């Protein structure tokens, strides 16, 4: 079977590629197809992230083993596409180049019979031009305001005036450290 993906760049303008790839190819094969179809050189680190139906990021699947114990962490080449994607689980995130954070929404759009004579993977449709720079990401938590409200201590400048003008640290028992 052939998996047909729509790979959408997270950007202001519509930029996407449709990629056909065999279901028994690996995530590393999909990674190669994506960076080639978008014109990257493939020299940067990348990861896929499993996600739920609303694109909430879950488990990371990296290109290389970055774990503390070599061989313990599964990487892209360890996963066939059919291991994690099917008609019920259609979404996965892809991040290329962790400095620029090129982020892509990858969705399985169709599962079809293989066409004899076609070479896979292949880019079957291309729309939009790549921007010069990746869109800036905001990694602030949705509940950051709740955190600040919970731990607001209410201190202001007047509360700190007790430290003004007193350079004597002798009262704190640290005089031996202040020679």
Q: What is the pLDDT of residues 96-138, one digit of tens each?
A: 999 999 999 999 999 999 999 999 999 999 998 888 888 776 5
CATH number of 2-127: 3.10.290.30
Strand 102-112 versus strand 2-9 pairing type: antiparallel
pLDDT value of residue 146: 55
pLDDT value of residue 44: 92
Contact 30, 3 (CB under 8 A): no
Domains in the chain: boundaries: 2-127
Q: Which stretches in the chain have pLDDT values below 50? A: 139, 141
């Amino acid at each position: 079977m052939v998996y047909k993906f729509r790979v959408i760049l997270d950007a202001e303008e519509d930029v996407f590629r449709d990629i056909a790839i065999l279901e028994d190819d690996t995530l590393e094969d999909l990674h190669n197809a994506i960076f080639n179809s978008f014109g990257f050189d493939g020299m940067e680190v990348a990861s896929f992230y499993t996600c739920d139906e609303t694109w909430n990021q879950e488990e990371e699947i990296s290109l290389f083993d970055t774990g503390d114990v070599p061989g313990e962490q599964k990487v892209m080449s360890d996963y066939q596409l059919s291991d994690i994607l099917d008609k019920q689980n259609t979404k996965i995130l892809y991040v290329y180049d962790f400095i620029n954070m090129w982020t892509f929404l990858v969705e399985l759009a169709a599962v079809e019979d293989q066409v004899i004579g076609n070479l896979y993977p292949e880019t079957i449709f291309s729309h939009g031009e790549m921007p010069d720079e990746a869109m800036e990401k905001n990694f602030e938590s949705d509940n950051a305001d709740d955190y600040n409200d919970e731990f607001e201590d209410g201190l202001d400048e007047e509360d700190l005036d007790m430290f003004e003008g007193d350079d004597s640290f002798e009262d704190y028992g640290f005089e031996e450290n202040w020679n």
